[in-house]
Amino acid sequence: MRMIVRTKKDKRIYRTALFICLTALILTGCEGSLRDRREGLSEQEPAQASEEEALRKEDSGGQAPAEEALTEPEIPEAMEVPAASENPEASTPPEEEEVRSPLPEYDALLQVNPYVSGWLRIDDTVIDYPVVYTPLSQNYFLHRAIDGSDAYAGSLFIAVAWHEGTDQTMIYGHNMKDGSAFGSLQKYADEAYGRSHSVIRFDTLYEESEYALYGAFYSQIDEEDLETEEDRAEADRNIEEGALAGQEGALSPEELTLFDIDLSRDFGDEDIYRQEKDEDNGRFRYYYYTDLSDEEDFYYFAQSVKERSLYDTGIEAEWGDQFITLSTCSYQVRNGRFVVVGIKRK
């Protein structure tokens, strides 16, 4: 098969093909001078073009074919090299993962407690507190102040299996008689109060966000779901022993700080309450709905809050919305709870 050489690029490809053929001839013992063949290349090209033209005329019945557009000749698959524009990834360096820094207002607080994960604030209320997240032991700050010291009122804390950007942020706090912590949360039982305090602000370390009041309702925790004092004491001992094991006797239990213990845990995409949700049977144990990544779970949670809410806020939930759920003790029944739910403003 002869090639029609019309451009400089065609000539380069032709010479490459010729070189491959000549190499094959040499390997099979054919005689000939590579230098002579190269010198005769310029004389062969016009002759080859004329012969090819004659052959094409024969194939078309003696008539000259219409002139073809000047296109790239076919390149064997093994020699094909895509142009840079056809393969942008070849010249584009991989994007580096963005490293975010906490908002500057958290700098001092993180020097006191490395588990601070945000700040909850509701205007014209006493609710204006840092919030911690300790997934290894959810209730670690139930009776601890933000600096780790003993305090019956404790600190506000986020339920397990949470991460920034998740579809549910569930925050617990004590219903203190002096009104501190979540001592004023139950005021949301009054519709007028709820409407005048309908904006809930929760900022993470990296983002400031507002939530619109979606509903407020009374609930109850099953006895079997409660953590006992013995459970918490055992969890604390395990955490303490783990921290001391890494210190090799350098510290005593009394000298341990929040920076010496590890309360982190990565749940990944695990829905740790999947079985409990499946066995819910309409009772709506809201505290199991920390993960709403399943669309059916999402709408079940949204509908259940709406049905139990003491009044209609006029807000509707759509798939993809993000909830904030505030929970505290109440005393209308044994193990009662009062719950306020908001939807993140877009």
Length of the chain: 346
Distant-in-sequence, close-in-space partners of 243: CB < 8 Å, separation ≥ 6: 256, 260, 261, 262
Domain residues for the domain of 224 are 104-228+264-344
161, 22: one domain: no
- Partnered with residue 46 across adjacent β-strands are none
Ramachandran sector of residue 148 (left: φ over 0; alpha: ψ -120 to 50; beta: rest): left
Which spans in the chain are helix H?
8-27, 34-39, 41-59, 107-110, 191-196, 229-245, 274-278, 295-308
The rounded Cα 268 to chain-centroid distance in angstroms is 10
Low-confidence ranges of the chain (pLDDT < 50): 1-47, 49-91
Give dist(CA 130, CA 106) in Å, integer.
9
334, 295: one domain: yes
Domains of the chain: total: 2
168, 33: one domain: no
Q: Which amino acid is at 129?
A: Y
Q: Which amino acid is at 303?
A: Q
- What's 150's DSSP letter? B
In a domain, 99, yes or no: no
25, 145: one domain: no
Q: Is 166 in contact with 177 (CB distance < 8 Å)?
A: no
- Partnered with residue 33 across adjacent β-strands are none
In a domain, 247, yes or no: no
- For 200, phi then psi, to 5°, come to -110, 125
210, 287: one domain: yes
In a domain, 96, yes or no: no
- Burial string for 143-156 (b: 16+ CB within 10 Å, else e) reads ebebebeebebbbb
In a domain, 1, yes or no: no
Task: Indicate the residue among 90, 112, 136 that finishes a domain.
Answer: 90
58, 165: one domain: no
- Nearest-Å Rg of the Cα atoms of the chain is 37
Task: Indicate the residue among 62, 90, 118 that finishes a domain.
Answer: 90
In a domain, 301, yes or no: yes
CATH code: domain of residue 316: 2.40.260.10
270, 204: one domain: yes
195, 312: one domain: yes
β-pairing, 210-220 vs 156-158, is unpaired
39, 174: one domain: no
52, 170: one domain: no
